[in-house]
A and B are shown apart, each in its own frame.
Chain A
Amino acid sequence: MQLRSWIAFYILLTGLLISSVGGYSQIPNSKSKILIGDFRLRDVNGSFYDLSESHNAKGVILVFICNHCPMARSYYGTLNSLQARFGKLGYPVIAINPMDSVQYEEESWDQMRLVAKSCKFNFPYLQDINQVVAQRLKVSYTPEAFVLTKAMKLWTVSYHGAIDDGLSSKHKSGIDKAVSELLSHKPVSMPNMPAAGCAVYYRK
């Protein structure tokens, strides 16, 4: 890619401010240049997932979901499909529950285990029990997705926003489109898409 194209690409990435649409789907800022530090969170299988140990991954599809939000729940099947398709290509799905489990009884680790089992999650489902990873990424809603790519051992955000646009599966959008482009060594043509779902409230 020529230098001019790269410049245009970065202007697009950093300049795309998604305007507020009233409490939902507001993405405060493009996070394309934010470097994501590692994190270590407990999975529903009891073990701890450590991002720094994703040695073989080219990137990670990081999706913030929860048990009680109907919009998040409607995407469980999609996440299984994304993992089935992209996990083996170096972009595994990692789901994180950022909800305050003190406020929401149904967001406990035990309830997460039940959800992961009944919905046959084929990806880790981690509890961000102190909401630190979500705060670091300024997560506003569930579901809210990030495609992280690894370069020089650093994680950066290549895509942020909705899982997809809700249209037919033949029409690629959101994560699917972004990861497909990354796998084809193309720039991500739509690095942001407004997320919509349940607001994440941070424990004070």
Chain B
Amino acid sequence: MKTNLLILCTLLLSVGAAMGQTYNDLWIPDTLSGTRFNLELKDTLRQFRSGTKTITGGINHDFWGPTLMMNKGDTVRMFVRNKLNDSSTVHWHGMHLPAVMDGGPHQIIPPGTLWSPYWKIMQKAATLWYHPHLHEMAQKQVTLGLGGFIYIRDAEERALNLPRTYGLDDIPMAIGSRKFSGNNQFLTANAAYGDYVFVNGTENAKVSLPKQYVRLRLLNSDIARGYNVGFSDNRNFYVIATDGGLVNAPIQTNRVILMIGERVEILVDLSNDAVGATLDLNAYNSGQNQLSFPGAENQTQGQFGSLLNNRDFNLVRINVSAQTANPVLTVPTTLTNNVYWTAANATVNRTIRVTGGQPPGGLFTLDNRAYGFNRIDQTVNLDATEKWTITNNQVFGHAFHIHDIEFKIISRTSGLKTYENGWKDVVYIPRNESISFVAKFDDFADSDPDHPYMYHCHLANHEDEGMMGQFLVTTTTAIPRELAAADNYFELSPNPVSERLNVTFPDPSNTPYYLILRAANGRTIMMSPKPILTNGLDVSGLPAGVYILQIRDTKNRSWTTKRFVKQ
């Protein structure tokens, strides 16, 4: 028996050693640029393990999605086709935009449907991301691989001497772990933490980076694990941007804790490394507070167990390569001039309490209420500057995220981390801490309770279980609901139609709020928030048949339904 055990141990060790020596090229997502973005969500398969392929979800790919390059000032139009077997949503995480375009749990895209939101990019250069946000399905759909980066660029950032050659000295890195079932499928429930870490979907990733300053855009795209990121030689690096964009001046550090949904852009100096040298970007997750840091638990088995728990492990192996032409060899001393709000600016104070979680394993909630799809928890006046305090006196840490705005953290019980000194939309709240932030809720008011913004814990399992609330930004107290049906709200011509369907509105002051096109059997074909119909609706691609057009107006929020025949 002893001999057998010895052989087994030797085998396991040699397998481990062999695995440790094998690296795969880090996948760098391709980019989409311009103002019209076509995204196709689809079920896919990928050979992660020998035997049965793993069912994955991809956006234009078999895992993850393209990086969307957007420019401040542009109006971007998204054409999101859901080719998944399941319904989904796509949330533009960190984007300042109208709630009806936000892709939260209310903007459900049924299978086979095209969703086409649009908005003007009003915020500064930043690293954002997009991911599904369907309530109770977030963990599953993010685990499958649905998501992608968004880079917002602007003139201010472009004027700085920073690395920005995508894939060369400006590298997106989405960090997440996965756990496999016996038949090679991702575990998407009752498993908070993955056993294996992937960066952009690449396991044991390696990347060649030039001998100069390089910019890494780190995103924690995990379900529930936090990452305490640093380099293998403990070298210092500079945080140049937080969730919402550039910080005022580079912040030197040798570790950054990155909670779920958070992003940082870091500059690391490779100019003193020899060509051919290696450097590891690691997660230093051992020794964190086991009752507070997600993934610091001891156990390897069970719902909160993982082979990576309470361990230090490699994220990406960096191989230093030759310097490029026009390398960045210095760090700018100043980056931008953010003027942050302070508590003195706030006219409203709110407190959100982390609740639940007891007995151990019980569901976490906010303010003792599980998520209510039809309940508005907070109403904020347009242009109000508010101070929100999140208190966590419960048994575990959380990552609090709010939609619509970027905030400035003004206090934290244990003191602000130096690298938190920037615009944020996710904040780590360890147990027995409270944090306060100040934010201005500007630009987008919509009192429609059918399309609220969200605030929630970004641990997807907590979010799915109901640790989420809804808020409206409003200029009025309420929207009239379902007033008298307006049969004449819109008119269609010609009918029957073959090419372009003209949609006219007898009352031009009452704009369309939402449009849904359905097949005669009720199947949703297209959903268009605040549709622009000045040139009519192009129906040339539809097969001949009867169709249903439903439009909800802005004044009364009534749905009007008309049929037309496509010849």
A196 touches B86 (CB 8 A): no
A24 touches B51 (CB 8 A): no
B52 touches A166 (CB 8 A): yes
Give A156 to B45 CA distance when docked, in angstroms: 32
Assess whether A199 is interfacial by the CB under 8 Å rule.
yes
For the complex formed, measure the closest distance between the CB of A161 and the CB atoms of chain B, giving whole angstroms: 9
- Closest residue to A74 on the B side, CB-wise? B45
Give A25 to B189 CA distance when docked, in angstroms: 12
Which residues from 42 to 94 on chain B have a C-beta closer than 8 Å to any C-beta of chain A? Answer: 42-45, 50-53, 55, 83, 85-86
For the complex formed, measure the closest distance between the CB of B34 and the CB atoms of chain A, giving whole angstroms: 29
Give A193 to B45 CA distance when docked, in angstroms: 19
B51 touches A165 (CB 8 A): yes
A162 touches B52 (CB 8 A): yes
Assess whether B183 is interfacial by the CB under 8 Å rule.
yes
- Closest residue to B43 on the A side, CB-wise? A70
> Contacts A23-B189, A104-B112, A166-B52 given: A196-B183 contact, CB under 8 Å?
yes
Assess whether A105 is interfacial by the CB under 8 Å rule.
yes
Assess whether A102 is interfacial by the CB under 8 Å rule.
yes
> Contacts A25-B183, A105-B112 given: A70-B190 contact, CB under 8 Å?
no
Give A165 to B49 CA distance when docked, in angstroms: 12
Assess whether A71 is interfacial by the CB under 8 Å rule.
yes
B contact face: mostly helix, strand, loop, or mixed: loop
A24 — which chain B residues lie within 8 A by C-beta?
A: 55, 181, 185-186, 188
B51 — which chain A residues lie within 8 A by C-beta?
A: 165-167
Give A75 to B61 CA distance when docked, in angstroms: 21
Interface string of A63-77 (1 = CB under 8 A from B): 000001111001000
Interface string of A158-174 (1 = CB under 8 A from B): 00001001110000000
| Contacting residue for B85 out of A166, A194, A198, CB 8 A | A198
B contact residues, total (Cβ < 8 Å): 32
B523 touches A102 (CB 8 A): yes
Assess whether B415 is interfacial by the CB under 8 Å rule.
no
| Residue of B55, B86, B186 with highest tally of chain A CB at under 10 A | B55
- Closest residue to B54 on the A side, CB-wise? A196
Assess whether A197 is interfacial by the CB under 8 Å rule.
yes
- Which B residues lie at the A interface, using CB under 8 A? 42-45, 50-53, 55, 83, 85-86, 110-112, 140, 143, 181-191, 519, 521-523
> Contacts A70-B45, A102-B523, A104-B111 given: A165-B183 contact, CB under 8 Å?
yes
> Contacts A71-B55, A74-B45, A102-B522 given: A166-B112 contact, CB under 8 Å?
no
- Closest residue to A106 on the B side, CB-wise? B112
A contact residues, total (Cβ < 8 Å): 26
Instruction: Give me 12 A-to-B residue pairs in the complex whose CB atoms sit less than 8 angstroms apart, sorted by A's number.
Output: A22-B181, A24-B188, A70-B42, A70-B55, A71-B53, A104-B111, A105-B519, A105-B523, A162-B52, A165-B51, A167-B52, A194-B185
Which residues from 147 to 204 on chain A have a C-beta closer than 8 Å to any C-beta of chain B? Answer: 162, 165-167, 193-194, 196-199
For the complex formed, measure the closest distance between the CB of B41 and the CB atoms of chain A, giving whole angstroms: 13
Assess whether A21 is interfacial by the CB under 8 Å rule.
yes
A105 — which chain B residues lie within 8 A by C-beta?
A: 112, 519, 523
Give A135 to B85 CA distance when docked, in angstroms: 18
A21 touches B45 (CB 8 A): no
Give A100 to B216 CA distance when docked, in angstroms: 45
Give A193 to B181 CA distance when docked, in angstroms: 12
| Contacting residue for A20 out of B86, B111, B182, B190, CB 8 A | B190
